[in-house]
Each structure stands twice: as structure tokens, then as C-alpha cells.
A and B are shown apart, each in its own frame.
Chain A
């Protein structure tokens, strides 16, 4: 199903970037940090339509980045990849937040201990910080995925509502509610979306609990 593919791709691609960003915001001090922090959170507070329009301006066929990427055969405009991009951008702040909090919660004394045992900074990150922050990463992915599934405004503005290409479940439900006799079909999709969200929620809860137990050394 298109929505799941779009949301999964959006979440999976956005996660490593979000982890890097979260680490940067949690552990580093640099000039312009508060500005970066604000930019990361922008999609959360901007009207989705504005975000979608900005994406259209930059990644559209005539947008600066869109034109450049098109030379490599990468096109976002009116493709499902564009829907994934829109979902990823909208979900990004929701991914970064819990990951950042859980990285901040990792005891830096453990990271020091790892360094005295010969671990270079990047190995400290992958062997200590990231595993200990895992519950937050799972929570962030879950939130991001849920946001991506429900994303509507930015997607429809950026890549429109093309059945089979960019019509996600939210857009499809919206279309059906505008169609006479569409209620039954809309209802089916509503049930589907409730199932997807519930499964994702339960799965992340189970994963986070399992990870949490490990973290306490039990």
C-alpha cells in the first residue's frame, strides 16, 4: 500500500539524519545552535500548506534544488518520492525531539569510561550512546511514522493527489468524502488507518519496553 511505503521510506531515511541532528543538538555547542534548533522545529509550527509550498519552490521541477537533482534523474515533483520527502520533512521534528532527549539522558560518565578503554569518539557513539538512547529512537520513529501516515497538507500542496502515485491514505479519504456514494469506501480506509496506527503503536511500545529492560542491565 502506497501510504505505508511512503511513510516507511520517509521514516527510515529521516531517522539517521534525525539521530545525527539530535546528537548535534544534545552534545555539541556551536555558534547558531539555537537558530538550527528553531529551523528543525519549523515544520511543526508552520502551516503544513506553507511547508508544502516551500518544498514545491525548492524541490519542484523549476526549483533550485529540484532542477539540479533532475540532472541526476532524481525527481520529486508529483512522484511518490516527493510524498515521502514531504512526510519526512513534516515528521523530522517529531523524530528529533525524543531522540535528543534520550541522548541527553545518557550518562556521559559512561562515555568517558568507554574513552579510557580505548574507544574513539565515533565508536563511543555507536557502542554506548546509541544503544542506550534506543528507546528514544524507537519512540521517535513511531511518532514520525504516525505523523507521516497522517500527513496531508504539505503532501497535497507539494505533489498533489494523484491516485496510485501520490495519493496517500489521508488524501484518498479526503477525496472519497468529497465524492457522492464514497462513504463506504472512506469507512474502509478509516478502519485500515486505525489498524495501521494501532499496530505501529503496540509494536513500538513492545520494542521500547524490551530495550528499556536491557538498559537497566536486567
Chain B
């Protein structure tokens, strides 16, 4: 099992984030209201943002270590990222979007893996399309496939359903659950939706104003959910 270790501090204007946890869960959920620091933490794991102090490590590989002066640049981290807004490349076709990570990492073509992921996400009929006229749900599935095909050792999902309506959410959620059960890649899953979190996450960190208020299995959501409602 992959072990993710976080122990960081970051000051952003008036907002201070401090987070520390260790987990080898298949899906680590980061749960909390907007502005509580979830996305900031995820950006730090991806290397898009650097912590002021602390450590980000996968197994024994330190990606950030302020004391040792380690800060691995984003493109060398091999951490996939699915953004809330998909961020497909508009000048490339769906197929070229999916293939982008493989090309950039100079990986050999793996037709079996491609087929597996395309089937898992049901996007085979979209491959030749351009990205302009896809629905939100289709875009998000392709973003997911694109991240997976770059063969990351960890996958970050920042509110991947956040921009979708209820019907679309219900369309994507089963794919995420399937992904958790079938793909061998561990995930960090950000959401402020308790129900969604309960379905996907195995470990959950509860965020509140830049701190982790609680950390445990999905059970802690019940108390938190009760508090919020």
C-alpha cells in the first residue's frame, strides 16, 4: 500500500493552513466547507504550491522537505490531478488529450491499459471528437482518463463533481467507485458533499478553517454531517 505523509504549514495572506496526517487508505477524503484549505493542500501535494515549512512524502520518497531543501517540481512528481474544471486542452482531440501524459513521460504505448481505462470510463465513442462540444460529465470522465493514463502513483481529485448538476453527479459517481475498487492507484478526494464522500472515501480528514479537525474512517462523517445539517 502506498503511504502518503503530510506535515505542512502555509501562510497565504490572512489564511494559515496547518495539516498533518499519514494514511495508506485507497481513497483519502478531504472534507470541509469551501475556504477551509482543502484545495491549497492538494495543490501543495501536486507541487503547484510550495509549503512554507514541512514535509510531503509518498512512501519514503520526499517530494517536499523544507529542512532538507527538497522541492520536487510538479512534472517530476508523477502525481495525477483531476481539477474541478476538467482543463482539457482545447487544441487537441479527446484521444490526444488522453495520450498527452504518456507522450510527456515518454512511456511506451500500452494498448491494453488504454482499452481498460477507456472501457472503465465509457469514453470509447468520444475519442475522435474535439473537446469543444462535450458535456460536463464527458469532460470530467476524459480528464479522469487523461490523469490515469499518465500512470501516476497518486491521483488527486479536487471536487471533480463540483461543477456538475445532480444528474451528472449520479452519472460520474459510479465510475469513481469503480476506479477505487479496480485501479491500483491511491487517491486523494476533495469534496464538501458528505454523501459523496461517504460513497468514495475510506479515510477522511475533516477540514475547518485551515486545520484538520478530525481524521479517521468514513464514520466520522456521520457526526460531522449531523453537526452541519
**Contact (Cβ within 8 A) B48 A118:** no
Residues from chain A with a CB closer than 8 A to the CB of B89 are 110, 113-114, 128
Specify the chain B residue showing the minimal Cβ separation from A124: B75
Contact of B130 among A116, A123, A218 (CB under 8 A): A218
**Contact (Cβ within 8 A) B91 A131:** yes
Contact of A215 among B91, B100, B104, B105 (CB under 8 A): B91
Query: B8 at interface (Cβ–Cβ under 8 A)?
Result: no
**Contact (Cβ within 8 A) A118 B75:** yes
Could you tell me how many residues of chain A have their Cβ less than 8 Å away from some Cβ of chain B?
Answer: 24
Query: B133 at interface (Cβ–Cβ under 8 A)?
Result: yes
A117-B104, A121-B75, A217-B130 given as contacts; is B85 within 8 A of A109 (CB)?
A: yes
A132-B91, A215-B91 given as contacts; is B104 within 8 A of A114 (CB)?
A: yes
Query: B69 at interface (Cβ–Cβ under 8 A)?
Result: no
**Contact (Cβ within 8 A) B90 A119:** no
**Contact (Cβ within 8 A) A218 B48:** no
Residues from chain A with a CB closer than 8 A to the CB of B76 are 118
**Contact (Cβ within 8 A) B87 A110:** yes
**Contact (Cβ within 8 A) A123 B80:** no
Nearest chain A CB to B227 CB, angstrom units: 33
Residues from chain B with a CB closer than 8 A to the CB of A28 are none
Contact of A117 among B73, B131, B147 (CB under 8 A): B147
Query: A194 at interface (Cβ–Cβ under 8 A)?
Result: no
Chain B residues at the A interface, C-beta cutoff of 8 Å: 46-48, 73-81, 83, 85, 87-91, 100-101, 104-105, 130-133, 146-147, 150, 156
**Contact (Cβ within 8 A) A120 B88:** no
Residues from chain A with a CB closer than 8 A to the CB of B91 are 131-132, 214-215, 217
Specify the chain A residue showing the minimal Cβ separation from B81: A116
Residues from chain B with a CB closer than 8 A to the CB of A127 are 100, 104
Please give 20 more A-B residue pairs, beta carbons under 8 A apart, in addition to A107-B87, A117-B104, A118-B104. A110-B87, A113-B81, A113-B83, A114-B89, A114-B100, A114-B104, A115-B73, A116-B48, A116-B74, A116-B79, A116-B80, A116-B81, A117-B105, A118-B76, A118-B101, A124-B75, A127-B100, A216-B132, A217-B130, A217-B132
Residues from chain B with a CB closer than 8 A to the CB of A109 are 83, 85, 87
Specify the chain A residue showing the minimal Cβ separation from B143: A113
Nearest chain B CB to A132 CB, angstrom units: 6
Residues from chain B with a CB closer than 8 A to the CB of A58 are none
Nearest chain B CB to A84 CB, angstrom units: 32
Residues from chain B with a CB closer than 8 A to the CB of A112 are 48, 74, 87
Contact of A217 among B46, B87, B131 (CB under 8 A): B131
Q: How far is the CA of A123 from the CA of B81 in the complex (A)?
A: 18
**Contact (Cβ within 8 A) B132 A119:** no
Q: A117, A128, A131 — which one has the most chain B CB atoms within 10 A of its CB?
A: A117
